[in-house]
Amino acid sequence: MILIDFRNIWLFLLIARQTSGISYNQPKLCANATWNQTAITFANSTTAGTLPVGMFINTNNSVYVADQANGRIQVWLNGSTTLTGNYSGGLSVPYSVFVTDNSDVYVDNGRTNYRVDKWGWNSTSSVPTMYTCGQCYSLFVDINNMLYCVMGANHQVVSKSLDTHVNVWSIVAGTGSAGSTSVTLNTPWGIFVDNNLNLYVADTNNNRIQKFASGQLNGTTIATGTIVLFGPTSVIFDADGYMFITDCFNQRLIGSGANGFRCIAACSGSAGSSSSQLFYPHTISFDSYGNIFVVDQENNRVQKFLLLPNSCNGTTTATTISTVLWYNVPEFTAYTSWSANGITFANTTTIGVLPYGIFIDTNNTIYVSEFGANRVQVWHDSSSVPIRNLTSGLSNPYSLFVAIDGDIYVDNGGSNTRVDKWTLNSNASISAMYVKNSCWGLFIDINNNLYCSMNALNQVIMKSLNNNSAMWIVAAGADCSIPNTNTLNGPRGIYVDTDLNLYVADCGNNRIQLFLSTQLIGTTVATGTITLSCPTGIVLDTNDYLYIVDYNNHRIVGSGPNGFRCLVGCSGVSGASSNQLNYPTALSFDSYGNMYVVDQYNYRIQKFLITSTYYNATTNQPNLCPSTTWYTNAITFANSSTVGTNVYGVFVGIDNTVYVANQQTNQVVVWFEGSINPDKILSGSLSSPYDLFVTPRGDIYVDNGLHNGRVDRFSLNSNISTSVMSVPNACAGIFVDISNTLYCAASTSHQVVKKWLNDNVTTSSIIA
């Protein structure tokens, strides 16, 4: 935050070069990683247009698709499967897109406009960033902030620095004439630049991948062994430097590894529109989980091939298996929150009555056990329609759990006294464990032990899946319901951490019991001011904080460094509205931290979106070298006509949006990155605002203390403010730290006051 007591806002230009971070995904894969050969359609012609070519996925799993037919870039932010928005305006047949780590979006606009355009983060307009001789079939920005354009029709690759405003580019590969020598290219398409600045080019019409060592114009052809390429159009790398290629004219995807090159998807070699086929695929990209997205051009779609969670089983060492989890254990902060209003993922039409159990794997495949319908249904990530259901011989299944190899274990104990197993992709089950009664909770630990929570017998039992023995042992409970440290009363949900400690939702005793590894004496987890009433489900996050389904209180509670708190359903009253639950039974997180809850008596699965995320910092803190210098002559960014007289506070967000408190007009003036004219003006009931602060979420906190004795907040995209903190007088300085605490420098009182923004009071306390 910068406080300036002048009538102009001055912008001092940094002339030192800054190093760009990695914005694309390079997952670490095992040598025999495999992908589901049946792809999911992520986007079709309705959203991706006809004949799409380019795509980019950043490390937040935001997906950008170049819809050339409609002159726009379509965007799905942060793992969303619903279209979020688009970049458009002035684009003509965009072929390619690249997004940097600061969320600048670079788009090919070379067909008729002969340039590359840039949209800054949150900007609604673009600026030219590079002028070209034609269309950029692919774009790339390397770690030195060099922008590369593949001018395929000109048979060359060019680059320019983004740290200067001079439109001078250099040829980095190709001569401008088609050829098949080591210095020529023939209609090149996709490119990749590694951290050593080596350039890899998909030399399409030469049926090869060319490598140009840093600074060299003489390329070498990558040997692909027994794999013969035919029109490659895209090349990317994983974390270990293994190459993955779109073999366009062979209608397939190729990958390399320790054992050489092999086909990894659409391996029939014939074009088609089925879920296992491609038709002239172009751009390939990983998400952060190792799933593969590919632009399937002639099918007018983007296909997603899921990385199979069991593909490394059998070759990975035991040590590695013991630490690789196949269910989601997200990392949250003490102040992570979820939307109070749930989205109905599945209702009674899909799941019948009385659903009970849920499991979500790291590919975000969702499994639901339907007690009333006697079945298990499965949804792939991005799918709203079940892609599989398991029914054979099931009778009132309560719970289920999916193993690392993809095998599905389902309770079948009520009438059939067993746990059944469906192996990966099988439609027939076999018995995996014989039990005395229904398993209201199932779990498989990292040592491949299967646990069953027998509610009616007040016990948790376990058996090893590594042998064929039918013997099981008691892991917790003493076959009676007397409330004691070694007993349970109607246990339901269970969870076993990586240290093999067992957590039990001890419903009848209204508690969570923790049994340390191999111990039969439990301790009750203290929940502070939260009183549980028949907990039925429990999961842990990365930091071993607990998330509990509080059944009779119709809510979900969670713990953290500040103790337990209610997360969703916090009215404590049952109901069917989007912010209510009616006897919830189980919960599971997806890989993004969204929470899925089985809302049993509303006959639905509710999805509560995570609304706050973790930030290492709330302000821009660039890395500067010791000799960094700035121009001594400033550019006037804004003058009194836009920011008024006696302007005091200015803030630049981490997305480079500029906010200025205009004391004269009692407004906040906002410029998105790249804008020279204000994009937004906020007023509300401000009176002589001195300072302001904007959080990474986009909430704007503004001083309103001089006459109104408070700090106001404009929530993201809202034009209406609310009071959040009472202050003694004007705040000459405002700050929000990473724990969501708001600070005000009340200068005339010679004090600094603060309050935590996660509670519902406005009272501040003196800190200095």
- Give me the residues paired with residue 105 across strands: 99, 119
Q: Which pLDDT belongs to residue 212?
A: 96
Distance CA 583, CA 570 (A): 13
Domain boundaries, the chain: 51-250, 343-608, 647-766
The residue to which tokens 């200015």 are assigned: 650
Are the C-beta atoms of residues 487 and 477 closer than 8 Å to each other? yes
Largest separation between any pair of C-alpha atoms in the chain? 86
Characterize the bridge pairing of strands 72-76 and 63-67: antiparallel
Distance CA 175, CA 179 (A): 9
Name the helix (H) or strand (E) containing 757: none
Surface-to-core class of residue 181, CB atoms within 10 Å of its CB (0-12 exposed, 13-18 middle, 19+ buried):
exposed
Write 649-653 long-range contacts (CB < 8 A, 24+).
649/1, 649/3, 649/689, 649/690, 649/691, 649/692, 649/703, 649/734, 650/1, 650/2, 650/3, 650/4, 650/9, 651/1, 651/2, 651/692, 651/693, 651/694, 652/2, 652/620, 653/620, 653/694, 653/696, 653/698
What does the angle CA 333 – CA 288 – CA 160 come to, to the nearest 5 degrees? 110
- At 611, give phi and psi (nearest 5°): -115, -10
- Give me the residues paired with residue 565 across strands: 558
CA of residue 519 relative to chain centroid, distance: 38
Judge whether 51-250 and 647-766 match in fold: yes
Sign of CA dihedral 454, 459, 460, 462: negative
**Cα within 13 Å of Cα(108), Cβ side:** 30
**Nearest C-alpha neighbor of 754 from the set 726, 730, 729:** 726
Distance CA 94, CA 134 (A): 11
- Dump pLDDT digits (tens) for 102-129: 889 999 999 999 999 999 877 788 999 9
Q: Which pLDDT belongs to residue 540?
A: 95
Distance CA 83, CA 713 (A): 28
Structure tokens at 80: 């969303």
What 3-state DSSP class applies to 221? strand
Spell 28-62 as b/e; 16+ CB within 10 A means b: ebbeebbbbbebbebbeeebbbebbbbbbbbebbb
Which CATH class for the 647-766 domain? mainly beta
Are the C-beta atoms of residues 227 and 262 closer than 8 Å to each other? yes
Strand spans (E) along 479-553: 491-496, 502-506, 511-515, 523-524, 535-540, 546-550
**Nearest C-alpha neighbor of 235 from the set 185, 196, 191, 296:** 191
What is the rounded end-to-end Cα distance, in angstroms, of the chain? 19
Beta-carbon contacts of residue 284 (< 8 Å; ≥ 6 apart): 234, 236, 244, 245, 246, 253, 292, 293, 294, 295
Are the C-beta atoms of residues 550 and 505 closer than 8 Å to each other? no
The residue to which tokens 């200067």 are assigned: 164
- Mean pLDDT, 10 residues at a time, the chain of 768 residues: 43 41 87 88 94 94 94 89 88 95 92 92 85 94 94 95 82 94 96 94 97 94 94 95 95 92 92 94 93 96 86 39 70 81 93 95 92 92 83 93 90 94 85 94 94 95 88 89 91 94 96 93 92 96 94 95 90 91 96 93 94 62 77 89 90 88 92 85 90 86 94 85 93 88 94 84 91
Strand spans (E) along 126-187: 126-131, 139-141, 146-151, 156-161, 170-173
CATH number for 343-608 (one of 3.30.1460.30, 2.60.120.480, 2.130.10.10, 2.120.10.30): it is: 2.120.10.30
What 3-state DSSP class applies to 223? coil
**Cα within 13 Å of Cα(341), Cβ side:** 2
- Dump pLDDT digits (tens) for 504-523: 999 999 999 999 998 999 99
Q: Which pLDDT belongs to residue 626?
A: 74
Name the helix (H) or strand (E) containing 157: strand 156-161
- Dump pLDDT digits (tens) for 383-431: 788 988 998 889 999 999 999 888 999 999 999 999 999 987 778 899 9
Going by the DSSP 8-state scheme, the letter that residue 383 receives in this structure is: -
Structure tokens at 523: 């301790």
Structure tokens at 710: 């408070």
**Nearest C-alpha neighbor of 592 from the set 386, 378, 329:** 329
Are the C-beta atoms of residues 426 and 409 closer than 8 Å to each other? no
Are the C-beta atoms of residues 265 and 311 closer than 8 Å to each other? no
Structure tokens at 569: 């359903």
In the CATH scheme, what architecture does the domain 51-250 have? 6 Propeller (2.120)
Residue type at position 249? F
Structure tokens at 298: 């002639």
Are the C-beta atoms of residues 681 and 712 closer than 8 Å to each other? no
Distance CA 435, CA 414 (A): 9
Distance CA 138, CA 172 (A): 14
Surface-to-core class of residue 468, CB atoms within 10 Å of its CB (0-12 exposed, 13-18 middle, 19+ buried):
exposed
Q: Provide the phi-psi class of 168: left if phi over 0, else alpha when psi is between -120 and 50, else beta.
A: beta
What 3-state DSSP class applies to 138? coil
